[in-house]
Amino acid sequence: MPASSETRTTSERIGGIIARVLDTLAVISTVAVTGLMMFLVIARYVLGLSVVGLLELIMLAAVALYMTGALIASRKREHLTVDWLAGIIEAPGKKATHDALIAALTLVVTGFFVVWAYWMFSWGLERPQVTPAYRIPLIIPQLAIGMAALGCFCYALRDLIDAVKRMRAR
């Protein structure tokens, strides 16, 4: 049964807002990728036109879609799962230990992802680059990658804390 708005904690409210923002970004970037690809195909093969820079826009939308999808998967705990092993484990304590192991591994991997994204972003600030046609700064897709790295790290930390709490409750 969903909690009423009066009994929801601040973290649940913030989580709900983040979920709605991510879902909205996913829909917008999906529509952008699909619409721009359709326009590209129609322009090229039906109208015989070559629209300069269209692939740049598609790439920006695709990066946003991919990174938003990674965050949504992390939010829903649908990442790095082995259903076979999780299905075999029945004891709540062992399930919590399994979840803690997955969360710890995810935390380590996403920690490397955060560091890599930071280095990439720092390098992009020192040596700014832009796309050839529309001169869109490459910092924009780099920001999407950095936000996904940081968000996935935070979700992995959430999962680890939750699993440790369940392990201690046993």
- Residue 65 to residues 62, 81, 126: CA-CA distances in angstroms? 5, 21, 26
109-161, pLDDT tens digit by residue?
A: 999 999 999 999 999 999 999 999 999 999 999 999 999 999 999 999 999 99
SS3 content of the chain, % helix, strand, coil (to 5): 75, 0, 20
Average pLDDT of the segment spanning 97-116? 93
Percentage of residues in the chain with pLDDT exceeding 70? 93
Given phi > 0 = left and psi -120 to 50 = alpha, else beta, which region is 129?
Answer: beta
Confidence of residue 82 (pLDDT cuts 50, 70, 90): low
For the record, the structure tokens of 95 come out as 């399930």
> What's the CA dihedral at 58, 64, 68, 69 to 10 degrees?
30
Residue with token string 């004891």: 91
| Confidence check: pLDDT of 12 > 90 | no
AA identity, residue 90: E
